[in-house]
């Protein structure tokens, strides 16, 4: 099953090019297990969801920890019928869960290491190719509310806040745990650190 | 039918706060017809798709035309069964098209005014709640290829380039013209101007 993401990193500062280039080494531990391609709009990461979320988190943190206001947008996808299979992609051990194992997901998030980076995030879970798509969406929102990271509901998405280590773990858990096991699932997310705007 | 967007504007410069505040007047012509709410991650626009895309375009252009590298991410949605109806939202004249009227869509894009701002963009059309969701996606990609704005296919999305006036018109045409007329449709997009990275 093809899986991966298009991610874009935005440091809000004059020397954003240097900050991004300086952070790229954060991807080095993943380069042998992810296919990585960059153009002028985004960077493609192709590989298993655990690596895609971990690499995104580490790249984001490498810039955000310098203290500048930094955001990242992510379009994460698995199981798109239009994508070719790639041997670098395979489902997580045990497969994508359907039905979701709520207790296991919450434990995974709770056990995720903090990385000393408070962030805000929001995301939409988008299960495609199924008639009853609101069921996994409502299940997902229910899980968020029990995760300790739920900030508030918003139109079209849910807002989270917490340490980046746990927030990225929660995004990964939702992406792997909801939607049909063999289905097409997209997650659209924005994460933000060091915003001068107070959280609403 | 509830419709709107969460949009985030990212000027890559030290004085990003001043640039964003200086651009907010671009929304003034729309304030009586859109519900607008901002927090630390995004700005909500609730209203009809024509106004949502026009207001997003004008806000983006107001910053990007100052010459700084600027991006915007958009999560646009209509028909979500979980959203309350709002009198400020109503389908476009004639309703959302199903099946799509390709010729009319291309004419709309062709006739859209240029605003003298070359941009790159990429987006994913995400038709929810239907089994055969790849049909509108492939139809949409076919239209993009005929639009004169298609740059190249990417994993998980399609890349466009052209004047911001026409690119936003194309995004709006796809959002209104594909997917079930009464269905739940999401569009996830990133637009970018003045990137120092050459288009791939």
Is A157–B131 a contact, with Cβ atoms under 8 angstroms apart?
no
**Contact by Cβ (8 Å): B126, B188:** yes
Asked if the C-beta of B48 comes within 8 angstroms of chain A's C-beta atoms, the answer is no
Question: What are the percentages of helix, strand and coil residues in chain B, rounded to 5?
Answer: 35, 30, 35
Residue A96 has pLDDT above 90, yes or no: no
Residue B200 has pLDDT above 70, yes or no: no
Question: What's the pLDDT band for A200 if we cut at 50, 70, 90?
Answer: low
| pLDDT score at B91 | 76
Q: What percent of chain A has pLDDT over 70?
A: 98
Q: Is the pTM of this model over 0.90?
A: yes
Residue A35 has pLDDT above 70, yes or no: yes
Burial B90-124 (b: 16+ CB within 10 A, else e): ebeeeebbeebeeeebbebbeebeebebebbbbbb
Residue B186: strand, helix, or coil? strand
Q: Rounded to a whole number, what is the distance in Å from the CA of B165 to chain A's nearest CA?
A: 18
Q: Rounded to a whole number, what is the distance in Å from the CA of A42 to chain B's nearest CA?
A: 9
Distance CA(B138)–CA(A86), nearest Å, equals 21
Predicted-complex ipTM score: 0.95
Q: Rounded to a whole number, what is the distance in Å from the CA of B81 to chain A's nearest CA?
A: 8
Q: Which chain A residues have a beta carbon less than 8 Å from that of B88? A: none
Instruction: Check residues B82 and A138 and name the one with the higher pLDDT.
Output: A138
Distance CA(A34)–CA(A47), nearest Å, equals 5
Write out the residue range of the structural domain in which residue B62 sits.
3-199
| pLDDT score at A87 | 80
Domains contained in chain A, number:
1
Q: Which chain B residues have a beta carbon less than 8 Å from that of A19? A: none
Residue B194 has pLDDT above 90, yes or no: yes
Residue A109 has pLDDT above 60, yes or no: yes
Q: What are the tens digits of pLDDT across the range B28-80?
A: 999 999 999 999 999 999 999 999 999 999 999 999 999 999 999 999 999 99
Is B190–A82 a contact, with Cβ atoms under 8 angstroms apart?
no
Residue A59 has pLDDT above 80, yes or no: yes
Asked if the C-beta of A157 comes within 8 angstroms of chain B's C-beta atoms, the answer is yes
Mean pLDDT lowest for which of A79-93, B98-112, B147-161? A79-93
* CATH number for the domain that contains residue A154: 3.30.70.930
Sequential DSSP letters for B112-140: SPP-S-EEEEEEEEEEES-TTTHHHHHHH
Please give the residue of chain B at the shortest CA–CA distance from A35: B155
Contacts of B17-22 spanning 24+ positions with Cβ under 8 A = B17/A196, B19/B63, B19/B66, B19/B68, B20/B63, B22/B62, B22/B63
Distance CA(B58)–CA(A196), nearest Å, equals 24
Query: Residue range B3-15: average pLDDT?
Result: 98
């Amino acid at each position: 099953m093809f899986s991966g993401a298009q991610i874009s990193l935005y440091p809000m500062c004059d020397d954003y090019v240097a900050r991004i280039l300086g952070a790229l080494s954060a991807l080095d531990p993943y380069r042998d297990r992810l296919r990585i391609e960059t153009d002028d709009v985004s960077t493609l990461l192709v590989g298993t969801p655990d690596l895609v979320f971990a690499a995104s988190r580490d790249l984001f943190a490498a810039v955000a920890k310098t203290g500048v206001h930094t955001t990242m947008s992510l379009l994460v996808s698995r199981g798109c019928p239009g994508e070719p299979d790639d041997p670098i992609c395979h489902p997580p051990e045990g497969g994508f869960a359907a039905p979701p194992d709520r207790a296991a997901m919450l434990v995974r998030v709770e056990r995720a290491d903090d990385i000393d980076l408070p962030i805000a995030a929001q995301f939409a879970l988008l299960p495609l190719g199924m008639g009853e798509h609101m069921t996994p969406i409502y299940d997902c929102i229910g899980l968020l509310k029990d995760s300790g990271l739920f900030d508030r509901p918003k139109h079209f998405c849910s807002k989270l806040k917490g340490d980046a280590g746990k927030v990225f773990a929660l995004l990964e858990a939702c992406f792997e745990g909801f939607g049909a096991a063999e289905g097409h699932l997209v997650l659209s997310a924005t994460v933000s650190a060091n915003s001068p705007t107070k959280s609403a």
